[in-house]
Structure 1
Amino acid sequence: MNVGIIGGSDGLGRTLTYYFRDEFEVYITGRDHKKGKAVADEMNVHYIESNAGLANISDMLIVSVPIEHTCDVIREVAPFMKEGSVMVDVTSVKEGPTETMGEVLPDTIEYIPTHPIFGPRTTRLDNQVIVLTPVRKGKWYSKVYRYLESKNMRVIETSAEKHDFMMSIVQVLTHFSFISTASAIEKLKVDISETEDYESPIYNLMIDMIARIVSQNPYLTYNIQSMNNNGAKIRNTFADAVIELKDAINNEDEDKFIDIAINATKHMGDIKNALGRSDKAIGALNYEYSILFNSIGQEVGLKHIYSGKIHTGILESVDGKTAVLRNGTKTKKLRIANIRILLDNELYQWKIDNLANTTQSISCMFPKNVHVETIQKTVMNIDNIIDIKLTDAYNGPQIDENSISLTFEVTALSKEDIEKVIKLFTGFGGIIR
């Protein structure tokens, strides 16, 4: 199946290119042809300069462009789509694109308005939410639905109108309140790094979430605000709530403040569940730091959660933000927020897959009644031993009648690890030949 992604070289479009490239024949377009071709080469997909040309060869055409351009692009490519194909858009606002697709696409072309509720930094599809707002369901709809379920995604089916209202809470209100908070901090000329000495875990999480929102593309954030039909009402209600709360405190109206706080709390739903989730988030942060701190001086593997690159070495130090790793004479500083410490078995497997190993045959005389399997199991418990095989057993004329010469082929990560095996053999009462 040919999957075409208009805007496949940037943002969410690039993320979709990454996910689809191993399962489908993927073609992409982009505003910057030089960059688009580079991304296509990197991802091992095809690049086409024309949106119309892409539409003409695609079985599924995905429109992944800024919200303000989505409807124009839909109109641009609609006449060139082949009969029996399907168009999908992935914008955060659904009413406009849904209406436009219904207007310009013939009955022979199916369309599925879609909103993946995750961003370009998402590294896994498991448990991610995706919303479908179908107007009419054809043969493609069930295929798409089953595919998304097979990826363990949480699929929500609703109308474009309800989607946009829910997004006015999930996105418009959240982004507006977070950016307002960040703007207030900026206007107060507060140095965020200084507040870290006084921060609680909840403050830490809140600042991280605010930073995540304000660091997004401001043009995208603005369009989410301005193009949602419910936006004005949401922002006005938020502003009224802020003023009401401010007036209650400035007027020293304790009863009013308490009334606002209690009513707000009651409306938050399952408070115990919210406390549990936030406690888990705080606990995870503290546990991860504790594991890192207790690993200082030891060999560790640290995986970058976005690039997937693994760094190994001796962990020299850990502070509130940074882990310092030494590998030979080189040191590397890694942001704790962007790394995960590998489990022992993960680090071991990485070494096997990525480091050169060494194999050596070791012949050793043991008492005749020695238990070979016990020797092999014990050797495999030594760090960095990959494999041990018995290749020969001999008790000819040169061997004492109460002894046996055993030859093992040992594979390990280094010669030093082989030496550990030799010491173990002599510890078993063996004599190296």
Structure 2
Amino acid sequence: MKREQEVKPEKTPEKTKILILGGTGEMGQWFTRFFGERGYELTVWGKGGKVEIARKLGVPFATDLDSAISESDIVIVSVPINVTEETIAETAPKMKAGSLLMDFTSTKVKPVEAMKKFAPPGVEILGTHPMFGPTIPSLRGQTVILVPIEGRSEKWFPVIRELFEEGGAHVEVTTAAEHDRLVSVVQGLTHFAYISIGTTIDRLDFDVRKSRKFVSPVYDIMLDFVGRILGQNPYLYALIQMENPSVIEVHDAFLAECKNLSEMVREHDEEGFVRKMKSAALKYGDTSHALRRSDKLINSRIAEYEMVLNSIGKVCGFYHVYSGKTHVGLLEKVRPDEVLLSKLVSKGTSPQIKNKYIRLKLENLRLLSETELREWRKENLEHTVRDIAVLIPAGAKPEIILDAICTNEHLAVCEISDIYTGTREAEIEKEGQGTERTGVTYRITIFGDCNADEVEKETTERLRGLGCLIREKNLKPKK
């Protein structure tokens, strides 16, 4: 009898064929995995013909694109903004009746107009904008904007909406025009401001690394967001700025305000500066709410670092959010930007790299929970198995005793390997007891990073404390 967690089967949707145009790109790959994990039948295509990416994803590459388009239930356009309309024009007329055409573009007016123009009457269309990038590990907590078209989204819109909401996303429904107007600030202004800060730092020939020694929490977070934008695909960000007509109006307002504020600073117009801030605060609305949320962000960073600091000298696990690898070992040192681990020896480890130290950048890591660390140790370490044979007290249940010894955190697995009845008179008389008792052999699997002898001794003492009579190891059970 082994203690293990019950696994329930997941629901699988009916097989729906999805073709992702641009499926070998970063966002295309993300959604290939997303739909694939939910039981959909995926095919990908990319202009570069990167068949090896499709192979890595475990899905076919559409070598005959026209056939793939005509056979698919859903076709998703996930290509650069400046070729989206052209791709829609080439794809939509080849789709079968009853299918769905979607786009994953950062603008909506032009793609939606192209879908309405080129998709046959029997093909439904749905403008879609995932408001996140491909580095996000999960849809949970993210926003997806949907632009359904009256008379052209009746069948598929509720299906797609439910799919995203079941994945944990917040779904916002709007029109194409409202989307582009709002996104001109949400993305256009935000990206423009951060990129401007980055290019200003470049113009000043400013030492960012040195400045972090004098960092405040707000500056530290701002630098991370600037670096996040600068470190991603610059062509994508250029197109987000250039393909949404509403962005130019936003730029003009931003530049005018920058010039106005700068003039106030040059003229030492303190009251004018204060009036500007107060006016903006009134327009912003609930600044106290923003303060609390930003405090929460800052404090979470501090708490995470404190948790890592408090783990020095303990066995810890870190998940690398970009490589997907898990590193486990004794945490030796923690610096502001990195940790030093002495790696544990896992199954299959080469003797040449045993007990080696490894340095990891802290910003790339997530500290594993106790449960996650335990599962990693269980799956990856070389464990020691020991049998402890006992005579349990009269009337006691072996399973209850098993539960009691399973609480030892050093045990990967604890199970009953044998139960037998019969009296070992010599043993019972030695303890001054004359009644027959049930014999049980408890098999314990001890984590490979623990002292097996010490853990066996602890477990034996616990069994003895529960009233069990420890049997001599050379006595075989009497069936």
Query: With structure 2 as the length reference, what TM-score do the two structures score?
Result: 0.85
- Alignment match of 2:36 (pick from 16, 21, 33): 21
State the AA in 2 paired with 1:354: N
Counterparts of 1:419 and 1:298 in 2: how far apart (Å)?
Answer: 18
Whether the 8 Å CA contact 1:113–1:133 is kept in 2: the answer is yes
> 1:49 deviation in Å?
3.1
State the AA in 2 paired with 1:395: T
What are the superposed Cα offsets for residues 257-296 of structure 1, whole Å, 9 maximum, x if unpaired? 1111111122222112111111111111111111111111
Counterparts of 2:136 and 2:45 in 1: how far apart (Å)?
Answer: 21
Within 5 Å, give how 1:117-266 maps onto structure 2.
117-136=131-150, 137-266=153-282
> 1:365 deviation in Å?
6.6
State the AA in 2 paired with 1:353: E
Q: 3-state SS of the aligned residue for 1:399? A: helix
What runs of 5+ residues in structure 1 fail to find an aligned partner? none
Residues 367 and 54 of structure 1: is their aligned pair in 2 closer, same or farther, counting only changes over 3 Å? closer
What residue is the counterpart of 2:366 in the other structure?
A: 340
Q: 3-state SS of the aligned residue for 1:92? A: coil
Q: 3-state SS of the aligned residue for 2:251? A: helix
Whether the 8 Å CA contact 2:29–2:57 is kept in 1: the answer is no
Q: Does 1:399 align with 2:427?
A: yes
Identity of aligned residues (%): 31
Counterparts of 1:367 and 1:130 in 2: how far apart (Å)?
Answer: 61
What residue is the counterpart of 1:408 in the other structure?
A: 442
> 1:373 deviation in Å?
6.7
Whether the 8 Å CA contact 1:6–1:51 is kept in 2: the answer is no
Counterparts of 2:459 and 2:126 in 1: how far apart (Å)?
Answer: 65
> 1:370 deviation in Å?
8.8
State the AA in 1 paired with 2:34: Y
Counterparts of 2:419 and 2:44 in 1: how far apart (Å)?
Answer: 59
State the AA in 1 paired with 2:176: A
What are the superposed Cα offsets for residues 39-87 of structure 1, whole Å, 9 maximum, x if unpaired? 1111111101354333122110000000000000001112211121110
What residue is the counterpart of 1:72 in the other structure?
A: 86
> 1:198 deviation in Å?
0.6
Q: Does 1:288 align with 2:304?
A: yes
Within 5 Å, give how 1:332-371 maps onto structure 2.
332-364=358-390
What residue is the counterpart of 2:477 in the other structure?
A: none
What are the superposed Cα offsets for residues 316-338 of structure 1, whole Å, 9 maximum, x if unpaired? 11101111111142122111112
State the AA in 2 paired with 1:178: Y
Q: Does 1:93 align with 2:107?
A: yes
Q: 3-state SS of the aligned residue for 1:46? A: coil
Counterparts of 1:159 and 1:396 in 2: how far apart (Å)?
Answer: 82
Counterparts of 2:329 and 2:88 in 1: how far apart (Å)?
Answer: 51
State the AA in 2 paired with 1:398: A
Whether the 8 Å CA contact 2:416–2:440 is kept in 1: the answer is no
> 1:303 deviation in Å?
1.3
The 10-residue stretch of structure 1 (134-143 or 244-253) with the greater mean CA deviation from structure 2 = 134-143
What are the superposed Cα offsets for residues 74-118 of structure 1, whole Å, 9 maximum, x if unpaired? 011122111211100000000110111111112111110111111
Q: Does 1:58 align with 2:92?
A: no
Q: Does 1:10 align with 2:25?
A: yes
Taking only aligned residues, the RMSD between alpha carbons, in angstroms, comes to 2.2
> 1:349 deviation in Å?
2.0
The 10-residue stretch of structure 1 (384-393 or 118-127) with the greater mean CA deviation from structure 2 = 384-393
What residue is the counterpart of 1:274 in the other structure?
A: 290
What runs of 5+ residues in structure 2 fail to find an aligned partner? 1-15, 344-353, 474-479
> 1:368 deviation in Å?
7.5
> 1:214 deviation in Å?
1.7
What residue is the counterpart of 2:11 in the other structure?
A: none
- Alignment match of 1:388 (pick from 415, 418, 425): 415
> 1:192 deviation in Å?
0.3
Whether the 8 Å CA contact 1:89–1:115 is kept in 2: the answer is yes
Residues 387 and 253 of structure 1: is their aligned pair in 2 closer, same or farther, counting only changes over 3 Å? same
Size of the aligned set, in residue pairs, is 431
Query: With structure 1 as the length reference, what TM-score do the two structures score?
Result: 0.93
The 10-residue stretch of structure 1 (240-249 or 14-23) with the greater mean CA deviation from structure 2 = 14-23
Counterparts of 1:388 and 1:418 in 2: how far apart (Å)?
Answer: 18
Q: 3-state SS of the aligned residue for 2:428? A: coil
> 1:17 deviation in Å?
0.7
Residues 384 and 93 of structure 1: is their aligned pair in 2 closer, same or farther, counting only changes over 3 Å? same
